[in-house]
Amino acid sequence: MPQQVKIVTGWSNPGGSTTCIINLAKKLIDSGYDVEVFGPHDWHIHELARQGYNVGFGSKYFSCKEDDIIISHFAMLGPIKAKKKIYWCHEMSNFMNLTDDMMEPYDKVVFVSEVQRQSHSLQSDKSTVIPNVIEKIKWSNPNNKVAGVIGSIDANKQTHISVQRALDGGFEKVYLYGNVTDKVYYEHFIAPLLSDKVQLRGHCDNKEEMYNSIEAVYHSA
């Protein structure tokens, strides 16, 4: 029997972290693991199925056996028994600062970069750095003087700063690719910027189509 891995996330709607979770699940399955993914939203279920991987479930179905490996993201798990419990952190400390007390129930804490790990207050030796699985995308520069800001539109991403940087960088248009996840932030900082030059494009599943519509990407999270 293959080793069972259960990935539990507190966010499974479109976004960078969910895409990383989907890519990890696919990589583990292709490596011979039995994988299930649990989250509160349905997008990850449909996206995995669209790519031929039927491993998505709602969070209400989550259960754990003692020989399971559990990977949790943006979801703190209680004192459950498992073969190994891993906390997978995608966020910098200004969003949620991890400490030794918070991570005591976990066997391992995985960060996606050394800069990110150093931003947190975790002092124990249980942390490690494993970069996210990155998709290869064919890109040809459209030479259209259009920049992109990609990701959920909220205060943590500081979308408005990226927009201004792109305009200051000489781009004639800026496309915002991502869903609005903070309506108050959107109304105050993004809505006033929208025009023919700054366009809200929403989430785009087709990454090659998205990236091939822009010359450069700005990110200010």
Q: How much is the pLDDT for 213?
A: 98
How far apart CA 38 and CA 26 sit, in angstroms, is 14
Q: Which residue has the tokens 């972290």?
A: 17
Q: How much is the pLDDT for 56?
A: 84
| pLDDT tens digits for range 109-122 | 999 999 999 999 99
- What's the predicted TM-score (pTM) here? 0.85
